[in-house]
Chain A
Amino acid sequence: MDELIIAGRKFRSRLLVGTGKFASNELMVEAMEQSGCEIVTVALRRVDIDNPGDAMLSHIDPKKYLLLPNTSGARDAEEAVRLARLARAAGCEPWIKLEVTPDPYYLLPDPIETLKAAEILIKDGFTVLPYINADPVLAKRLQEIGTATVMPLGAPIGTNKGVRTADSIAIIIEQAIVPVVVDAGLGAPSHAALAMEMGADAVLVNTALAVTPNPGKMASAFKKGVEAGREAFLSGLGEQRQKAEASSPLTGFLRD
């Protein structure tokens, strides 16, 4: 596949994978491997002092994958900036998936706090990949201040509903000057393929892989969906029409 370039860095895979909610670290690693992904997202949380648990990071090969920490759990710009700086201090490259989701029911991103946090983090030297609602105006504003991508949602996080925001995502893609990564809500390889056929530069998937009994197989299916969609986009899809247009010749019938 043609390369994806984010902030000057080249990737062969256009599928980003989230590491949440897997039943085990082994299943997570299998999904990462089968997906062919090169970017994986992780979250930061307080250590349970009395029970620190397993270090999930030790299961991820930093030579194979770019670790993209998110600011999930942040309710406002200030919390997001704190989380981003902690992630950088933990040894990550200064790449951050910016998420500000004060609403606990639909986990919809707060556009004002996201823009505010993006401004601070860009000035602080971060490569910022903001998770946003499929709002073309916000996407434009974020690109103007220098975000490395925009990441519009297809549907709310973890809903597996697909690209419900297609019309708005199409406008974002049309106007984009940075890669558009469709994030959240993609539940099936066909959803990923649709986003890629529309011209999205990449997709990010987590729940769809984590909740199936066979994450490795699903990851492989998503990989094919993403590749199929990308190739179809690069080829150019045929125009949709109202009336039928015969595929077979309209001459030489068995009649006069």
Chain B
Amino acid sequence: MELTINGKTRPYGGAPTVVALLDSLNLDANRVAVEHNRAVLLKERFAATTLKDGDTLEIVQFVGGG
């Protein structure tokens, strides 16, 4: 399937959950926040949220800021 992640379309062939996707991107689920199709996803929902072809994700993390 194809996913749009942070504005870029990418192929994804792993298990269709947010947890598996983060894992495949080597991202620690504890240091990011995720929006799935414009809805903010609580961490508890990462494992249960199913990804479909064409889904849009925003994956953000904290950086320095004033």
Indicate if the CB atoms of A45 and B66 lie closer than 8 Å. Answer: no
Indicate if the CB atoms of B62 and A42 lie closer than 8 Å. Answer: yes
Of all chain A residues, the one with the shortest Cβ separation from B32 is A47
Of all chain B residues, the one with the shortest Cβ separation from A87 is B33
B34 contacts chain A at the CB level, 8 A cutoff: yes
- Once bound together, how far apart are the Cα atoms of A168 and B42, in whole Å? 41
Inside 8 A of B43's CB, which chain A residues have their CB? 89, 91
Indicate if the CB atoms of B58 and A46 lie closer than 8 Å. Answer: yes
Indicate if the CB atoms of B65 and A43 lie closer than 8 Å. Answer: yes
Indicate if the CB atoms of B26 and A72 lie closer than 8 Å. Answer: no
Q: What sequence of 0s and 1s flags, for each residue 1-34 of chain B, a beta carbon within 8 Å of any chain A beta carbon?
A: 0000111101000000000000001111011111
A86-B33, A91-B43 in contact; A49/B25 too (CB < 8 A)?
Answer: yes
Inside 8 A of A1's CB, which chain B residues have their CB? none
Indicate if the CB atoms of A18 and B65 lie closer than 8 Å. Answer: yes
Q: What sequence of 0s and 1s flags, for each residue 86-115 of chain A, a beta carbon within 8 Å of any chain B beta carbon?
A: 111111000000000000000000000000
Indicate if the CB atoms of A70 and B65 lie closer than 8 Å. Answer: yes
Inside 8 A of B5's CB, which chain A residues have their CB? 49
A28, A41, A43, A86 — most chain B CB neighbours (10 Å): A86
Inside 8 A of A49's CB, which chain B residues have their CB? 5-6, 8, 10, 25, 59
Q: What sequence of 0s and 1s flags, for each residue 18-30 of chain A, a beta carbon within 8 Å of any chain B beta carbon?
A: 1111100000100
List which B48-66 residues lie within 8 A (CB) of chain A: 58-66
Indicate if the CB atoms of A70 and B66 lie closer than 8 Å. Answer: yes
Of all chain A residues, the one with the shortest Cβ separation from B22 is A47
- Once bound together, how far apart are the Cα atoms of A87 and B38, in whole Å? 14
Give the 6 A-B residue pairs with the shortest CB-CB distance, closest first. Answer: A43-B65, A18-B66, A206-B66, A90-B33, A19-B64, A20-B64
> Contact residues of A with B, CB < 8 Å?
18-22, 28, 41-47, 49, 52, 55-58, 67, 69-70, 72, 82, 85-91, 157-158, 184, 204, 206-207
> Contact residues of B with A, CB < 8 Å?
5-8, 10, 25-28, 30-35, 38, 40-43, 58-66
